[in-house]
Amino acid sequence: MKIRHLLIISLSSLVIASCTTAVSNKQSNKTPTAVSASVPVSSTQTKSLAQSAQSQNSTFIKSGTFVSGEHTTQGTVRITTKDGKSFLELEQSFNTSESGPDLVVILHRSDNVINSTKPPSYPLKKGDYIVIAPLQKYSGAQTYSIPQNINLADYKSAAIWCRKFNATFGAASLSL
C-alpha cells in the first residue's frame, strides 16, 4: 500500500512539475514581446503627423471656413505652397455628410458659391470650377496637390461638390 501511495505521489509531483515548467516556458516566451512592445501608430496618425510637418514647412497663401450648402459641411480649408508646389489642405476640424456619391474637392471662381447658386442642391455651372481630386474622407485633416497649371488668382473659393447630382455640399470663401 505504501508503494502505491508513493507511486501516486511521485506521478502527481511529476505532472505538477511538468505543468509548472510548461507555464513558466510560455511566460518566458511572452516576456520579451511585452518588454520590447511599442505603441502601434495607425496610418491615420502617421498621415496627420506628416501633414502637420508639411504644414509647418509650407507658406500660407489663403484660407476660409466652410458654409453648408446641400448638406452640413464645416471646418477650415487653406491653400499653401511648399517647394514651389501648391496644396489645398482640409484641417482636422473638417467634416461633411457621407450622403453623396462621387464627392470631389473643387476650386470655384466665385467668392460666395452658396449664395451665388440656388437651393436645395446649389448646382454649379460648367467652367466656374476646377476639380482638384476626389474627396479622400468625410472628416479630418487631408491634403490635395493642386496642379501647377492652375492660376490660383482665378479661384476665390474651395468647395465639396457631388459630381453625380451637381450638388454643392459646402463651400469656403478663400482670403488672405
C-alpha grid cell, residue 100: 453623396
- Domains in the chain: boundaries: 1-37, 47-173
Contact yes or no for 96/139 (Cβ under 8 A)? yes
pLDDT at 23: 42
pLDDT at 145: 98
Q: What are the DSSP E strand ranges found in the chain? A: 59-65, 67-68, 73-74, 76-82, 85-90, 95-96, 103-108, 129-134, 142-146, 157-162, 167-173
At 14-40, the pLDDT tens digits run: 545 554 444 444 444 443 333 333 334
Q: What is the pTM of this model?
A: 0.68
pLDDT at 61: 92
pLDDT at 5: 58
Cα 96 to Cα 69, 89, 134, distances in angstroms:
10, 15, 14
Please name the amino acid found at residue 17. Answer: A
Please name the amino acid found at residue 25. Answer: N
Place of cell 476626389: 134
Cα 147 to Cα 86, 88, 133, 173, distances in angstroms:
7, 10, 10, 20
CA 89 and chain centroid, separation: 11
pLDDT at 58: 77
In words, the CATH class of domain 47-173 is mainly beta
Q: What is the mean pLDDT of the chain?
A: 80
Residue ranges of the chain with pLDDT lower than 50?
A: 15, 19-55
pLDDT at 18: 53
pLDDT at 49: 38
